[in-house]
Structure 1
Amino acid sequence: MTDELIRATYAALCKHGYADLTMQDIADESSKSKAALHYHYDTKQDLLLAFLAALYEDFTDRLRAPDDDDPAARLVAFIDRALTPPERDDQRAFQTAILAIKAQVPYDDAFGERIAEFDAFVHDQCRAIVTEGIEQGVFRDVDPDRVATFLVTLFNGAHVRWVTEGQSADVTQELFVEYVRSQLLANGWEVAAE
């Protein structure tokens, strides 16, 4: 998917949301005609799946685990970046459209597979950081998979709360740091507040 088509799809999703989005809306945001879009993508779903693949690449590049010797600091920084999308004026509209796409997952296996990739990435990164923290004695002897599953749930829940209630990511970040301090850190270790 070209950068122009990514930008056009993003803009159209922000303006129209998922339910009302048409191929013509996306074409109107680009220099391409509707026919040109249909040449490459048979349906709106096909185009949105390609768009989600491009978003996944951006998401994983932005969230790769930071280089820090302290697993606690690295975990906090990772979750902080996961909870804080890039600043854009239309970010709330876009996140609302993404939530509407996520709502299609029970009815659409292809969307489910794409969305699962995002969750799997967050899970795998968190599991790796927690495992390293346990090996270094920074974290208690916890189950890294369970912690990672909890953090994916935290991430998804924070997204829903932000879109539906306007809850700031700061609230979730503060609660997460407290969770790390009270549930993960081994005795004698501390994590600096962000």
Structure 2
Amino acid sequence: MNAADNTENTPDTRTAIMEATYAALCKHGYANLTMQAIADEFDKTKAVLHYHYDTKEDLLVAFLDYLLDRFLDTLDIETIDDPEERLVALVDALLLGTHEPRSETDHWEYHTALLDIRAQAPHNDAFREQLTTNYRHIEATAAAIIEDGIERGVFREVDPERAATWLFATINGARLHQVTLDESDVAEDVRAAIVEEWLDWLRRPNGE
């Protein structure tokens, strides 16, 4: 491997590729996304992309894995002691992107682009496998918060995994509606329903 190859194999280069993929996917969508479109978003050639990833599919699978890592890195909810506050922070991050430095417009452009990838999952085993991995990891995070709340007497006795599944399905539905319907307040309305009504039900009643 020569010196140029070493330069192209650094963590910074990989991060730059992922960020370029993010930008190109938001700009072009899945159908019009090409390796050249991704290369156009950063200061490397298309050859650098093919050095790391043989196909667009390989790159997008790596991108989905990168999204999970970045989400976990920027979430920063472990310092929140109260289980209810921690759960609300997770909801806000998943639904509104409050953990991200990006703008609200960028947040929904990203979810529109991600919807394109998710639409391929029924016919693409690699996409489906990575999306499932991401889903299970985040669902487990929610379940762990709920279980902690139960053990500390904050939440009522429920099945943590089932409650987390319901919560994540609700959030996913809200994101889908936000990017596919002419309704700009869906995410905020669902967030309010979760925080003001579902969490009120989840709290352990006094004296229970």
Specify the alignment match of 1:185 in structure 2. Answer: 203
Specify the alignment match of 1:192 in structure 2. Answer: none
TM-score (norm 1): 0.88
Specify the alignment match of 2:86 in structure 1. Answer: 74
Are the equivalent residues in 2 in contact too, given 1:5–1:30 (CA < 8 A)? Answer: yes
Post-superposition Cα deviations, 1:48-74, rounded to whole Å, max 9, x if no partner, equal: 111112111111122353433322222
Aligned residue identity for 2:71: F
Bigger Cα displacement from structure 2, 16-25 vs 67-76: 67-76
Specify the alignment match of 1:127 in structure 2. Answer: 143
Specify the alignment match of 1:13 in structure 2. Answer: 25
Are the equivalent residues in 1 in contact too, given 2:143–2:163 (CA < 8 A)? Answer: yes
Calculate the aligned-residue CA RMSD, in Å.
Answer: 1.8
The SS at the match of 1:104 is: helix
**Alpha-carbon separation, structure 1, partners of 2:95 and 2:114:** 15
**Alpha-carbon separation, structure 1, partners of 2:107 and 2:86:** 25
**Alpha-carbon separation, structure 2, partners of 1:55 and 1:180:** 27
The SS at the match of 2:37 is: helix
The SS at the match of 1:146 is: helix
Once the two structures are aligned, what percentage of the paired residues are identical? 46
The SS at the match of 1:19 is: coil
Are the equivalent residues in 2 in contact too, given 1:63–1:82 (CA < 8 A)? Answer: no
Q: Which runs of 5+ in 2 are unaligned?
A: 1-12
**Alpha-carbon separation, structure 2, partners of 1:143 and 1:61:** 27
Match of 2:185 among 167, 179, 191: 167
Higher relative contact order (CA 8 A, sep 6+): 1
Bigger Cα displacement from structure 2, 15-24 vs 1-10: 1-10
- CA shift, 1:185, in A, is 0.8
Q: Superposed, which structure 2 residues align to 1:12-161 within 5 Å? A: 12-85=24-97, 86=100, 87-88=102-103, 89-161=105-177
Change (3 A) 1:77 1:39: closer
Are the equivalent residues in 1 in contact too, given 2:17–2:49 (CA < 8 A)? Answer: no
Post-superposition Cα deviations, 1:17-66, rounded to whole Å, max 9, x if no partner, equal: 01110111111112222223222211100111111121111111223534
Aligned residue identity for 1:147: A
Are the equivalent residues in 2 in contact too, given 1:161–1:167 (CA < 8 A)? Answer: no
- Following TM superposition, the consecutive aligned residue runs of length 4 or more in structure 1 with deviations greater than 6 angstroms are none
TM-score (norm 2): 0.83
Q: Which runs of 5+ in 1 are unaligned?
A: 190-194
